[in-house]
Structures are given as structure tokens and as C-alpha cells.
Amino acid sequence: MTTKHKIAIFASGYGSNFEAIARAAQAGEIPAEVALLVCDRPSARACQVAEQLNIPTFAFSAKEYGSKAEYEQAIVERCNKAGVELICLAGYMRIVGETLLGAYSGHIINLHPSLLPAFKGARAIEQALEYGVKIFGATIHYVDESLDGGKIIAQRAIEYEGNCLEEITAKIHAIEHNLYIETIKKILNKE
């Protein structure tokens, strides 16, 4: 029997990557149990999906806490209680601070919608489109104290010659799901 590693997924919005990873875990495609969803927007679709899939959720509003360190400490406590081994950021729109990094250093990965080190930050796809690139993609990297600067784990590229933000965003999302699932599987299997 394969060991199921406990992972937490962090999301802020729609949660399509969260849903893809959770369904893959529940189907046995990756040796993981999604032990926790962490979401900084309690009204986000990701929270509704977690409820449908019976995944425990910590949904919070940063405004309810006095500082980033306070809400990150609350996150760390919930991750520890759930036995989380790996944190997967999937559309989590907050910069991870030193409290969370200190507790899970080397065990936090992020999905970014560009071929890093190019086009860091929240507007990566828009920036790439404005720049006129013809090769777009997605990167999964370890999270460190820099913005989208941690060690790269995996990348996947696609060619696109159009200029429609919605179209290229959809194409990138299509490759993100498989790339993230494959990468999580490799990390957990220590490949």
C-alpha cells in the first residue's frame, strides 16, 4: 500500500488548480491526502469546492488579525495539527512571510504562470503578452523569501502567437493542472 502524504493547498479565488489536485489525490493519482485548504477569501469558490470534497478548510480574512505574523501563526498551527508535510500554493495571492517560511522551509511550492525567472509577480501573463513573447508557460518552484525566486522544480512551455489575454490564460491554465499534479507526485515519491 502506498503511503499517503498529507498536503495543504493554499488558494485565494476560483480554485481550479486546488480542485484538480484534490480530485487527483482522491482518485489515487498522487500519493497524497489533501488534509487542508487554506484560503484568505472565505467567499472564494475554492472553499465551496473543499466543502463538496469534504476537505477541511481554514478560511480567514487577514483584516481579522493584527499582523501577517499572527495569521501565519494561525495557519502554521492548523497545518501542524493536520500533519501537513507539503504546502502547495495554487493561486494564493499573498506573499508568504517569515513565520510560515520558518515553519515549513523547503516544504512550500508555488505554481507561477510564466517561465521564471521572467515575468514575476501577479500580472505575469499580462506582462508577457505586452512584451510580445511567443513562448509562454508555467513554473513550479520552491518558495523562499524572494518574490517568485525560489529554486525551479519544473516548467512547461507552450507557443502562442495571438494577443488575447483570456485565450492565453486558458491555455496556460490547461497545462498548469497536469504540471502541478506530476510535480507533486515526483516530490512525494522523492523522484
pLDDT of residue 56 exceeding 70: yes
CA–CA dist 98, 81 (Å, integer):
20
86 Cβ contact partners less than 8 Å away, ≥ 6 residues apart: 5, 6, 7, 8, 32, 107, 108, 109, 184, 187, 188
Q: Provide the residue count of the chain.
A: 191
Give pLDDT, residue 114: 96
Q: Is residue 118 within 8 Å of residue 88, measured between CB atoms?
A: no
Parent domain of 25: 5-188
Number of structural domains (the chain) is 1
Q: The domain that contains 97 carries what CATH number?
A: 3.40.50.170
Q: Is 107 a catalytic residue?
A: no
pTM: 0.95
Give pLDDT, residue 1: 46
Pairing of strands 135-142, 57-59: unpaired
Cell of 134: 511567443
CA–CA dist 174, 182 (Å, integer):
14
Which residue in this structure is represented by grid cell 495571492?
A: 93
Helix (H, G, I), strand (E, B) or coil at 4: coil
Q: 116: number of CA atoms within 13 Å, CB side?
A: 24
pLDDT of residue 82 exceeding 60: yes
CA–CA dist 19, 34 (Å, integer):
10
4 Cβ contact partners less than 8 Å away, ≥ 6 residues apart: 31, 32, 33
Q: Which of 112, 141, 173, 177 is catalytic?
A: 112
Pick from 102, 112, 124: nearest CA to 156: 112
pLDDT digits (tens, 9 = 90+) for 119-137: 999 999 999 999 999 999 9
pLDDT digits (tens, 9 = 90+) for 129-162: 999 999 999 999 999 999 899 999 999 999 999 8
